[in-house]
């Protein structure tokens, strides 16, 4: 697989059961506390979940899943549950595109704002979220079980699809 963005086209589609092995692989290489396979299977069928995958489509070479996001739409709030990109494909704005797709899709379904938690040490993710308009507005002390790191609570108080689309 090539990771040159000029040679590949990224597409985003709904996650399917057939994607779970690759999604789990990305999750396991991305996080110290990956989700169990059963959680992704559950989310594919969860009516509140909006689960998406990003694929590189490289002409005759086919396609491969290079990123994923799971969100929950609860009344008018979109909660970002997990987001990961294959480390070999980072720096191609895959997570950024997944976030914009998720936010705009949820806005069409009535979402007005978005919430998430992020590790205090995850500077790259925090920068991505700030670029999208999220603000840090709380802390869950010692939230993560593996090292008791704090989780920062971030919110996007108004999902503005037009503004988000202009960022791409």
User: Does residue 117 carry a catalytic annotation?
Assistant: yes
Active-site pick, 117, 136, 143, 144 = 117
Query: Is there a contact between 34 and 14 (Cβ–Cβ < 8 Å)?
Result: no
Backbone φ, ψ for residue 151 (5° rounding): -105, 130
Strand partners, 65: 55
**CA atoms within 13 A of residue 68's CA, in its CB half-sphere:** 29
Where does residue 144 rank: exposed (0-12), middle (13-18), buried (19+ CB within 10 A)? middle
Active-site pick, 43, 55, 129, 134 = 129
User: Does residue 129 carry a catalytic annotation?
Assistant: yes
Active site residues: 117, 129
């Amino acid at each position: 697989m090539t990771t040159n963005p000029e040679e590949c086209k990224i597409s985003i589609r709904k996650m399917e059961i057939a994607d779970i092995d690759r999604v789990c692989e990305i999750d396991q290489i991305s996080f110290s506390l990956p989700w169990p396979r059963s959680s992704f299977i559950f989310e594919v069928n969860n009516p509140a979940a909006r689960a998406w995958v990003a694929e590189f489509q490289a002409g005759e070479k086919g396609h491969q899943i290079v990123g994923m996001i799971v969100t929950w739409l609860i009344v008018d709030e979109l909660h970002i549950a997990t987001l990961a990109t294959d480390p070999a494909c980072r720096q191609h704005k895959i997570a950024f595109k997944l976030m914009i797709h998720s936010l705009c899709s949820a806005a069409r379904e009535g979402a007005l704002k978005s919430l998430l938690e992020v590790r205090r040490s995850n500077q790259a993710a925090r920068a991505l979220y700030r670029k999208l308009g999220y603000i840090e507005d709380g802390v869950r002390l010692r939230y993560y079980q593996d090292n008791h790191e704090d989780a920062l609570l971030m919110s996007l108080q108004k999902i503005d699809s037009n503004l988000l689309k202009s960022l791409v």
